[in-house]
Structure 1
Amino acid sequence: MDIPGAKGGDVFIFNGPTLKTALQRYNLFSGGGAMPAMWGLGLQYRMKADSKQQDVYNMVSYFRDNHIPCDVFGLEPKWQTTAYSCSYVWNPEYFNSPQELIDKMKAQGIKLNLWEHAYINPASPIFGALAGAAGDYKVWNGLVPDFAGKTASSIFADYHKKAFVDQGIASFKMDECDNSNLSEGGAVWAFPDQTQFPSGIDGEQMHQQFGTLYFQTMYSNYKKSNKRSYFNIRSLNGFASSYPVSLYSDTYVHQEYIRMISNSGFSGLLWSPEVRESASVTELCRRTQTAILSSQTVFNSWYLKARPGYSMIAIKTTAARCCQTPKRPRLTCVRC
C-alpha cells in the first residue's frame, strides 16, 4: 500500500467464523448501525430539476388526493441561484417564498431535502470567508473547501444551520463528492490529485475522505441539536456505517442496483436504489419492489417529464384488476 507522507499504517482484521459475523464486528467497531429518522424510512420523492414552488404544491396535492404515501420531498439544482458551482441561496425565480414552502410542507407532514454539492460559487455568501480555507484548484470556478481543517467546516456548517436547518430543512442530498472522472465541455467534475489543501493533505488523500468529511460537517448541525435526520450522499469511506446516510449513484440499470445492494452490505453502508426510469409498467413494479425493500425508498424525477406518480396510479389500478379477477392471466403488480 502506498500512503503518501505516512511512515506506516494500521491494518484492521475482522474475522468470522462466518462472513456475517465479520461484518457485524466491523459495524460494531465503526460505532454500530445507523439510526435514521423514522420519516427517512418512508418514501422520498424528488422533484424535476426545473420545478417551481407552485409545482411542489401541486405535486403534494396530487400525492395526497390519490392516497400515495410520501414523507420527503427533494428539491434538485434549480432551487439555488447557481448550482455548478453552488451558491446555497434560494432562487427567487423558482422559489419566491422558501419559508412559506417549508411551513406548508410541514403542515402536510412532509420533510424537505435540498440537493447540493460542496464546490462554492463566487456568488455564494461564504465564498470570501472560505477563500483562505480551500484547495488551490477550483471546480466549475468554485472553491473546494478544506473539510479536513476546522475553519472550512465551521464556516460551511454555520451557514447551513442559519440559512436552512434552523428554518426547517430536514436533510440534504450531497452530490459530486465521489471524485468522478467525468469531463464535459472541457470542465472536469472534480479536483485533481495534485491539489494542495491548507490542512496539509493533497488531492489524492482528500478524494478518499471528501465525502465523509463533507457529511460530518453537514450532519453536525443536526447532531448538536439532537435531531434525527437521513441524508443522501454520493461517497463515504471506511468506518462510516453508523451514519444516518444512504449512498446513491447516477447509474440507471436495474441489475446494477441489485448488485450494489448486495455489495454495499460488505462495507456496512446503506444503499439507495432510486427509481428513476422504466421501460414498462412491469419494470416499474420491479424497480419499486427493489426500492421499497431497501434501506431508502426514492422516486427521483429530476430529469423526467412524466411523473412517477402517474405510474403509481397505473400500478394501483393494475393491482386491483390482477387481484380481483382470478380468472384473468396474472399481471405483474405490487400486491401479487
Structure 2
Amino acid sequence: MRVSKYFLLFCLFLSFVTKLNAQSINWTEIEPGIWKGVIGKPEEFDLLKAAGVQPYHAGLQQMPKVGFPLVQEEITAHVQDGKTYLSFPLQKKEQLFGFGLNFQTVFQRGKVLTLHVDNYAGKDNGRTHAPTPFYVSSNGYGVFINSARYINVYAGTAVRRDSKVPPEVKDRNLDKTWSSHPYSDAVEMLVPAAGAEIYIFAGPTTLDAIRRYNLLNGGGCLPPRWGLGFTQRMQRLTDAQGVAAEAQAFEEKGYPLDFIGLEPGWQSKSYPCTFEWDKSRFPDPEAMVQGMLKKNVRINLWTNPYVSPEAPVYKDILPYSASHTVWNGIVPDISMPAARKIFFGNLEKGKIDIGISGYKMDEVDGGDNYLWPDVAVFPSGHDAEQMRQTYGLMMQRYTSEIYHQRNQRTFGLVRASNGGGSSFPYVIYNDYYDHRDFITALVNSGFAGVLWTPEVRSSKTGEEWLRRFQSNVFSPMAMINAWASGTKPWSFPEVAEQVKTMANLRMQMMPYWYSEFAKYHFEGIPPFRAMYLEDGFAGSETKTENKKLNLEENPYEEAITKEVKDQYMAGEFLLVAPMFAGQTSRKVILPKGRWFDFYTGKYAGNGEVISVEPGLDKIPVYVKDGGIIPMMPIMLHAPKAGQKVNIEIRYYGDKPGTYSLYDDDGETYDYEKGNYTFRKISVSKTNGKLKSGITPVLKGKPDNIGKVTFRIMTGQ
C-alpha cells in the first residue's frame, strides 16, 4: 500500500515538472492562413534572416480564408538546458511529406532525421542539399521551424508516456500484427538552441499549405525565358575557341542552346579559387561573352567560394574569413557586409559587368572531410553550424541581388539551399548519379521549396542517354553537364535524332513552362510536384512492397510502405512517367478523371493503373481532361524581349478548359512593377466543333504573342 502511495506521488511530481517545463506558445496570424509562434529566446540569426526575403502579400491575400488547422493546446514546447523541445499532434491516418530534398523516399512518417546541409550520400537521413525544416500533412497543413541549426526530427516514431492515443500493447510471441515501430501520435523535434520560431500553415489542402509557405518566402522564382531553354556545360579545361566551336556545332546540327556553362578551368586556378580569368584560355573574356550574346547564347560561370592565397582579393578578405580553410582556401564570412562587399564585388567586376548571365555555386553544401568543421570560428560570431545551414542561401541571395539591382534576371545552379530559398533563381544539382533517385528528388522538390535538375552527364548506352535526357527535358533546367566527360547531345549517334526531338520539344513547350513558373511566383504552386498533391490521386498507401524479411539478420525489419515516387505532375495539366534504362514497359497510376496521351490525344484511362509500352522514342506523358498546352514553333534560342512568337494552343479531351497564359518581357524584373499580363484561354467542344478564345492584351501591357491558333488533340 505504501509503495502504491509513493508511486502515485512520484507520478504527480513528474506531471507537475512536465507542466512546469512546458511553455505556452502565443500564436499570431501574420498572413492569411499563416501563424507564427515563439518559444524561448530564438537566435537572432535564422533561416529567414539569412535569406532576407519578404512575403508576397498580394499572393497570400488571394488564398482561402481558413482557421488554425490544429488544436493549439496540442502543440507543446519547452526549453531545457539550452535546447528547445517541440511536439506536434499526429493523427493515426496522416501521412507526412517534406523535411527537405529527399532522394529515395516520399513518405516521411516513421523517420528519424537530422536536418543537416550536406552533399547527398545515398541515404535519406536528413543530411541533404536542402534539409528544409518544413513538413506538410495529408490532412492539409504545414509546419516550418525557422532555425539555422541541425534539427533532430522524430516524425511519428517515439511514443510518449502521456500519449492521448497510445498504441495497443501487443504480445510478439503470439500476435502476428506486433510491430517494432508502434504507432506514435506526435511529430517531435529537438532544436539545439534556447528558443525557436514556429510557423503553422493552413490549407485547406496540402498543396495550399505549400503555396502559403512559398508565398511567405517571396513566391517561387520566375526565371528568364532563356533559363528554360537548353544549357550545355563545357568540359572543365575548355577555352574561348572551344566555346565558339560548341555554339557553332549546336547551330549547325540544329540543336537548341540558350546558355553555356564554363567549369573550373575558366579561372587561373581553382580549388581554391582565384576568381580571375585564365588568360591563356580566355585572353579577351569580354569579347568572348559579347560575341556569344550576339548569337543569343549566354555564359554561366562555375565557382566555389574558397579563396586562394593567389587571388587578388585574398589579403582584403582575410580578416573576414573563418578559422579553418577548405582546400587551403579561406572561407569568407559572407554574413558580414564588409566580406560581402569584397567577395560579391569580385564576382561582379570583370564577370557580371561584362555580360556573364549567372553562376554555378559549387561545394557550399558539405562533405565533412573537406568542408569547415563545426569547431570552426567565424568573425561574425555566427558559429560553424549556423554557417553550414545558411551558406548556400546567402550565396544565392547576394548574387541574385546583384542582378536584381541591374534589373536583369538570372538563372543558375547551387549545391545547397534551405528554408527561405523559394524565390531564388537557382536549381540544385549534385554529384550523385542515380536516375531513379533523381526522379524521386524531383518529386520531393515541391515539398522543400526548391528546384532540382536531374542533369545528364554520361551514360553507358544510347538507351540510358535518351532515357535520362527525356526526363531532364521535363524538369526545371534542361542540361547536359559535360565538365568531365565532354559529352554532347549527339554523343550517342544511334539516338541523336530522338535527343534532338526532345530538345526541340523543350523549346516548343516554353509558353507552358513559362506560365507555370509564373504561377510558382504569383501563386506559390510548385511547377514540379508529387502526385499526392493532385486532386483525385489515391496512390497505394495501404499496400506494402513485396519483400522477404530476414529476421535473423535484423529482428526488427518490416515491410516497406509502397510509395509513388517515379511519376509526377509537371505544371497544371501534365503527368510525367519517366522510363529507365532496361525498361520496355511500366505502370502508370492515373488520378480520377479522364486522361489523354500527350502526343496523340488518345484516351488513356480514368483513375486506374495502366501498363504502357511507349517505345524508346517517347517518355510517357498524359494530359488531364480539358487540358490546354500552349506551344510555340521550334526555335534554337528562347525568344528575346519584344520578339513576337506565334502560339499553337493544344486542347485535350472533352471537358471545357481554361488556362492562364503568362507574358512579360522575359528578361527584367519589370513584372514586379505590374508590367505583365495573364491572358485567359478558354476552349470547349460541342458536337466535335471547337469554341475557343483568348482575352485581349490590356493597353500598355506586354504583348509578345503573335498569331494564335487552336488544335483539337482528341477525337479527330
Q: TM-score, normalised by structure 2?
A: 0.43
Establish whether residue 272 from structure 1 lines up as the match of residue 438 from structure 2. no
Establish whether residue 250 from structure 1 lines up as the match of residue 431 from structure 2. yes
Find the counterpart in structure 1 of residue 262 from structure 2: 75
Cα 1:66–1:313, aligned 2, differ >3 Å: closer, same or farther?
A: farther
Find the counterpart in structure 2 of residue 332 from structure 1: 616
Establish whether residue 217 from structure 1 lines up as the match of residue 501 from structure 2. no
Q: Is the 8 A contact 1:285 1:334 kept in 2?
A: no
**Amino acid aligned to 1:333:** D
CA distance in 1: counterparts of 2:442 and 2:283, whole angstroms: 39
CA distance in 1: counterparts of 2:394 and 2:251, whole angstroms: 37
Cα 1:130–1:317, aligned 2, differ >3 Å: closer, same or farther?
A: closer
2:324 to 137, 156, 160: 137
State how 1:97-116 maps to structure 2 within 5 Å.
97-116=284-303
Q: What SS does the corresponding residue of 1:256 show, helix, strand or coil?
A: helix
Q: What SS does the corresponding residue of 1:166 show, helix, strand or coil?
A: helix
Q: Is the 8 A contact 1:157 1:220 kept in 2?
A: no
Q: What SS does the corresponding residue of 1:21 show, helix, strand or coil?
A: helix
Aligned-pair CA distance for 1:48: 0.7
Establish whether residue 259 from structure 1 lines up as the match of residue 440 from structure 2. yes
Aligned-pair CA distance for 1:17: 2.9
Aligned-pair CA distance for 1:270: 0.8
Q: Is the 8 A contact 2:489 2:496 kept in 1?
A: no
CA distance in 2: counterparts of 1:314 and 1:270, whole angstroms: 28
CA distance in 2: counterparts of 1:235 and 1:249, whole angstroms: 9
Q: Is the 8 A contact 2:458 2:487 kept in 1?
A: no
Find the counterpart in structure 2 of residue 53 from structure 1: 240
CA distance in 2: counterparts of 1:262 and 1:251, whole angstroms: 16
Find the counterpart in structure 1 of residue 363 from structure 2: 176
The answer to which structure has the higher strand fraction is 2
CA distance in 2: counterparts of 1:335 and 1:268, whole angstroms: 26
CA distance in 2: counterparts of 1:138 and 1:285, whole angstroms: 41
**Amino acid aligned to 1:222:** Y
CA distance in 2: counterparts of 1:234 and 1:317, whole angstroms: 30
Aligned-pair CA distance for 1:305: 4.3
Q: Which moved more, 1:71-80 or 1:280-289?
A: 280-289
Cα 1:147–1:11, aligned 2, differ >3 Å: closer, same or farther?
A: same
Aligned-pair CA distance for 1:18: 2.3
Q: Which moved more, 1:95-104 or 1:204-213?
A: 95-104
State how 1:1-336 maps to structure 2 within 5 Å.
6-181=193-368, 183=369, 188=370, 190-311=371-492, 314-316=495-497, 331-334=615-618
The answer to which structure has the higher helix fraction is 1
Task: Give deviations 1:151-174, integer Å, cap 9, x for gaps.
Answer: 111111212212211100000000
Q: Is the 8 A contact 1:49 1:303 kept in 2?
A: yes
CA distance in 1: counterparts of 2:500 and 2:454, whole angstroms: 23
Q: Which moved more, 1:275-284 or 1:170-179?
A: 275-284
Q: Which runs of 4+ in 1 moved over 4 A?
A: 1-6, 317-320
Q: What SS does the corresponding residue of 2:325 show, helix, strand or coil?
A: coil
Q: What SS does the corresponding residue of 1:144 show, helix, strand or coil?
A: strand
Q: Is the 8 A contact 2:265 2:278 kept in 1?
A: yes
Task: Give deviations 1:3-49, integer Å, cap 9, x for gaps.
Answer: 59843111112233322111111111111111111111111100011
Aligned-pair CA distance for 1:131: 0.7
Aligned-pair CA distance for 1:104: 1.4
CA distance in 2: counterparts of 1:45 and 1:312, whole angstroms: 18
Q: What SS does the corresponding residue of 2:395 show, helix, strand or coil?
A: helix
Q: Which moved more, 1:190-199 or 1:311-320?
A: 311-320
Q: What SS does the corresponding residue of 1:153 show, helix, strand or coil?
A: helix
Task: Give deviations 1:186-238, integer Å, cap 9, x for gaps.
Answer: xx2x1111111111111111100110111212222101111111010000110
Cα 1:53–1:24, aligned 2, differ >3 Å: closer, same or farther?
A: same
Q: Is the 8 A contact 2:469 2:499 kept in 1?
A: no
Q: Which moved more, 1:205-214 or 1:284-293?
A: 284-293
Cα 1:166–1:319, aligned 2, differ >3 Å: closer, same or farther?
A: closer
Larger radius of gyration: 2
Q: What SS does the corresponding residue of 1:201 show, helix, strand or coil?
A: coil
CA distance in 1: counterparts of 2:481 and 2:284, whole angstroms: 24
CA distance in 1: counterparts of 2:331 and 2:486, whole angstroms: 33
Aligned-pair CA distance for 1:313: 7.8
Q: What SS does the corresponding residue of 2:231 show, helix, strand or coil?
A: strand
Q: Is the 8 A contact 1:319 1:333 kept in 2?
A: no
CA distance in 2: counterparts of 1:90 and 1:52, whole angstroms: 11
Q: What SS does the corresponding residue of 1:143 show, helix, strand or coil?
A: strand
CA distance in 2: counterparts of 1:222 and 1:312, whole angstroms: 39
Aligned-pair CA distance for 1:307: 2.9
Instruction: Tell me the percent identity.
Output: 34
Q: Is the 8 A contact 1:319 1:334 kept in 2?
A: no
Q: Is there any run of 5+ residues in structure 1 with no aligned partner, and where? A: 324-328
CA distance in 1: counterparts of 2:299 and 2:452, whole angstroms: 20
Q: Which moved more, 1:76-85 or 1:4-13?
A: 4-13
Find the counterpart in structure 2 of residue 326 from structure 1: none
Q: Which moved more, 1:39-48 or 1:283-292?
A: 283-292
Cα 1:241–1:335, aligned 2, differ >3 Å: closer, same or farther?
A: closer
Q: Is the 8 A contact 1:133 1:151 kept in 2?
A: yes
Q: What SS does the corresponding residue of 2:302 show, helix, strand or coil?
A: strand
CA distance in 1: counterparts of 2:299 and 2:490, whole angstroms: 18
Q: Is the 8 A contact 2:462 2:494 kept in 1?
A: no
Q: TM-score, normalised by structure 1?
A: 0.90
Cα 1:318–1:220, aligned 2, differ >3 Å: closer, same or farther?
A: closer
RCO higher in structure (CA 8 A, sep ≥6): 1
CA distance in 1: counterparts of 2:196 and 2:283, whole angstroms: 52
